[in-house]
Amino acid sequence: MRVGLLGGTFDPIHLGHLRGAEEVREHLDLAKVYLIPAAVPPHKTREPITPFAHRYEMARLGVSSSPYLEASDLEGRRPGPSYSIETLKNCQAMFGPRADIFFILGMDAFLEIYTWKAYLELFERAHFVVIGREGTELEEPAAFLRSLGVAGITENERGFFTSHSGKSIRFLETTRMDISASRIRRLCRERRSVRFLIPEPVREYIERTGLYRDHGYA
């Protein structure tokens, strides 16, 4: 079984998240991509964040029209900061040793992965799929991977890298949408339309609950 994991704050989930997940799934022939909202994002402790229950529900509504995308409340069921290494261990236990797990993240997050807890262990446990982001380019990926301390990096003839663990690191270009969660929150505060930036069920949920109207969170 080949599955993808895409984490994020998802405050709120938008079409950029979903289109990226869909294109990675199709490109790598994944059975499913799980979108996992962070309960307590370790790198966003100073910013107001919408309560997890709302963000998970919006993620669930956002993927409801796809048989290949699924929202997971895994990090909401675990106390403490939402460290990716713990999430990956949980997923390996659930899917079993024969599952091929593809860890999906944006280039902006990847360039800061050295600040993550036990980041080198992530490369031992999962394949990496790095999605291009506007304004964040990586000129020499092999050199960057070696600077991180990822051992045994070799470049495959098909254009991706492999570490000594046998796990691959791929850099994929997906459709770049100029959509950001911060802009959506700002538009909501200003009582302006967010149609066609987010899935309609998510827009209806925000409208019904009044999220982002005053302070950016419920």
Mean pLDDT, residues 200-207 = 97
pLDDT of residue 189: 94
- Going from the C-alpha of 198 to that of each of 61, 64, 181, the distances in angstroms are 11, 13, 9
pLDDT of residue 217: 43
Confidence of residue 218 (pLDDT cuts 50, 70, 90): very low
The domain segmentation of the chain, as residue ranges, is: 2-179
pLDDT in tens, 120-140: 999 999 999 999 987 788 889
Cα separation, 140 vs 150, whole angstroms: 14
Strand-strand pairing, 168-172 and 161-162 = antiparallel
pLDDT in tens, 8-65: 999 999 999 999 999 999 999 999 999 999 999 987 656 789 999 999 999 999 999 9
Mean pLDDT in the chain?
A: 93
- Going from the C-alpha of 138 to that of each of 7, 102, 130, 203, the distances in angstroms are 21, 20, 11, 34
Tokens of 115: 């600040």
Q: What is the pTM of this model?
A: 0.93
Closest to 62 (Cα-Cα) out of 194, 205, 215, 214: 205
pLDDT higher than threshold 80 for residue 84: yes
- Specify whether domain 2-179 bears CATH 3.40.50.300: no
pLDDT of residue 45: 59
Cα separation, 89 vs 66, whole angstroms: 26
Q: What angle do CA 152, 153, 156 make, to 5 degrees?
A: 130
Query: Residue 40 in contact with residue 117, Cβ under 8 Å?
Result: no
pLDDT of residue 137: 83
pLDDT of residue 133: 84
